[in-house]
Chain A
Amino acid sequence: MAASTPVKESRRQFLATLSKVAGVAGGACLFSLGLGLYARQASALPAQALRPPGALVEDAFLAACLRCGLCVHGCPYDMLKLASPGTPVATGTPYFTARDKPCEMCEDIPCVAACPSGALDRSLKDIGKARMGLAALVDQENCLNFLGLRCDVCYRVCPVIDKAITLENLHNPRSDRHALLLPTVHSEHCTGCGKCERACVLPEAAIKIYPIKLAKGSLPDHYRKSWEEKAAHGGSLIGEQIQLPVRGMEGTPPAPAQPTLDSTWKP
C-alpha cells in the first residue's frame, strides 16, 4: 500500500513525459509530411527553365544537387542562375532561361567540372552530346521563314548548324514560284543550348526550347521507316513491285515534267 503512491507518481510522470515527447515528435513528423507535399508541388520545373549541361534526369537531380551554385560561378558567361525563393523552380537549384541568356556550349564544360556532387554528370565529355532541352519551332503562323521570308536567324546562330537545325526546301504554294525554307530541328543533334530561341527576331520567339519530354513525340515501337530499312538492307524488303496500268489512261503520253526548285541550293 505504502509503495503504491510513488509508483503511481512515477507512472504519471512517465505518461506525462511520453505525451510530451509524442507531441513534439508528432509535430515534427507532421511538419515534415507537409514539407514533403510542398516540396513535391514546388519541384515542378516550368517548361522554360532549363537545367545546365549534363544535368541528371530531374528526379535524380533534385536528390543530388547541393544547391551550392558552384556551377553558376563556374560558368564564364554568367548565364546560370540559382533559383531564389519565389521563383517557380526548386529553391537553390541552377537553371537558365534561353530567351534571356543561352548556353554558349563551352568546349571544356566548366559548369560540369565545377559541380562537386555529380548532379551535373561528368561522363558528359562532349558538349555536343548535352541535352539541356530540345528546340521546337512552335509558332508556324508567325515564323518569318514560314511566311515565305528569308530570316534564317535561328538557323545561322546554331552552334550545330546544318545538323541540329536545317532549312528544308519546300515549294511555296502561295506565290507558286518561290521556296519556303523551313527551319527544322533534329533531335539527334540539338543540344538545347537555346541560342536559336535567344536570337529569334520576333517579339516573342517562334522557336523555343522545351524539356525533351515535352518537345518530343514518340512512334509506337513496331513502326519502321521504309527508307531506313531499305538503306539498311541495300534494297526493298518485299522485292520488286508490279506496276499496274492506270485504267482508262492507256495510251496517253506522260505529262511533261514540272520545273522544280533547285534542291541542291545551299544558303
Chain B
Amino acid sequence: MEKASAAPGNTTDAVVPAPTFFARLRWGKWLLLRRMSQAGILGLFLLGPWFGIWIVTGNLSSSMTLGVLPLTDPLLIMQSWAAGYMPYQDALIGVAIVVAFYLLVGGRVFCSWVCPVNPITDAAAALRRKLGIKGGRAPAASTRYWLLGSLLVTAFVTGNMVWEFVNPVSMLHRGLIFGMGFGWLVVLGIFLYDLLVASRGWCGHLCPMGATYALLNRTAVPRVSAAKRAACDDCMDCFTVCPEPQVIRPALKGDGSPLIKDPECTNCGRCIEVCALDVFRFTTRFSASTHRRTTS
C-alpha cells in the first residue's frame, strides 16, 4: 500500500506507473468477470419469475435449464441420502453433471463464481480492510468439515434435512427468487460476523457448502500459479485479498511447484490482479515448468 500511494505523481519515471492497489482492488479483470458470472447466473434464475422468460426454473439447490439440463447441488443430495431417501434419477443425473463439472474446473469455483453469498462476504472483507478492523475470533478452518459431518449425522438421526432450515447459501438464493422473509437477518448475520467477529469467517471457516465443494477441488484443471515468484517483493497484497490466504505461501515461498494446489483455493484470481509485479497467472495443473525466470 506504501508503494501504491507513491506511484502517482512520479513524472520523471518513464515507465507507466502500475495501477494503485485500490484501483486494482476495484477494477481487476477477474473480479469483474466473477461479478458478471454471479450476476449472470442469478439473472438467468430471475428472468422467469420477473419477466416471464423461462430459461431456468428452480434454484441452485436443483434447477432445470431449457427443459433439458437438470442440475442439483451435491450437499442437498448428500443430506437427502443421509436422511434416508433415494431421489429420482432426474436429481441424480443433475448432481452427476454438477460434480463432473466442478471436478474439472475446481469445486470452489462455485464459491467464487456462482455462490450468491460471495459478494456479501467479499463486501464484508473489503469494508473490514477499509475500516482497518483487525483481529477478532476466527474458529479453526476445519470447523466447516466437522460441521458438514455432524449435520449429515443429524440428518441421519432425525430423517430430516436439518441444514436446510438455516443454510444461508440456499436461503439467500431461494429467497431472491421466491421471497426472502426473515432470510435477510441470516444474510445480515453473516455480513456482520465476517466484518466484526472473524475475518473471512463464514466462507473460510464455517460454510459446509464450501467444505463440500472443497472436497471436489482436488482435480481442478485450471489452477493459479505463482509463476514469477522470483519477482515477489513481499508487499503482501495477495495475502490481503485472498479469501484463503494460507494457500498462497507454499506456492509463492516454497521450493516446490509454484502451482496453488491447495483444495481451499477458490480460483477467484484476485491474487493475479492485485499483484503489481504480475507474479501470478492462471494455468493448468499439468503445467510443470516453474517459470522461475522473469520475462519482461
Q: Which residue on chain A has the smallest CB distance to residue B139?
A: A24
The answer to whether B85 touches A87 (Cβ under 8 A) is no
When the two chains form their complex, are residues B94 and A85 in contact, meaning their CB atoms are under 8 A apart?
no
Q: Let me know if A39 and B160 touch, CB within 8 A.
A: yes
Interface size in chain B (residues, C-beta < 8 A): 59
A115 to B154, CA, bound (A): 25
CB of A116 within 8 A of CB of B182, answer no
Contact A85 B150 (CB under 8 A): no
Q: Is the CB of B160 within 8 A of A62?
A: yes
Complex: A101 Cα to B73 Cα, angstroms: 30
Question: Do B80 and A85 have beta carbons less than 8 Å apart?
Answer: no
Do A117 and B88 touch (CB < 8 A)? yes
Whether the pair B174, A92 counts as a contact (CB closer than 8 A) is yes
Contacts of A7 in B (CB 8 A): none
Cα A134 to Cα B34 with chains together (Å): 50
B87 touches A32 (CB 8 A): no
| Inter-subunit contact A74/B57 (CB<8 Å) | yes
CA distance in complex: A92, B182 (Å): 12
Taking a contact as CB atoms under 8 Å apart, the answer to whether A70 and B150 are in contact is: no
A122 interface residue per 8 A CB criterion = yes
Q: Is B58 part of the contact surface with A, judged by Cβ < 8 Å?
A: yes
Contacts between the two chains (Cβ within 8 Å), count = 171
Taken together as a complex, chains A and B put the C-alpha atoms of A91 and B159 apart, in Å, by: 16
Residues of B within 8 A of A (CB): 48-49, 54, 57-59, 61-64, 70, 72-73, 76-77, 80, 83-85, 87-88, 90-91, 94, 139-140, 142-143, 146-147, 149-151, 153-155, 157-166, 170-171, 174-175, 177-183, 185-186
Contact code string A19-61 (vs B, CB < 8 Å = 1, else 0): 0110011011101110110111011000000000000000110
> Could you say which residues of chain B place their CB within 8 Å of the CB of A1?
none
Q: Name, among B49, B70, B161, B175, the residue most crowded by chain A CB atoms within 10 Å (CB to CB).
A: B161
In the complex, what residues of A have CB within 8 A of residue B85's CB?
60, 63-64, 117
Are B88 and A116 in touch, CB under 8 angstroms?
Answer: yes
Q: Are B181 and A67 in contact (CB under 8 A)?
A: no
- Knowing A31-B147, A74-B57, A116-B62, say if A64 contacts B178 (CB, 8 Å): no
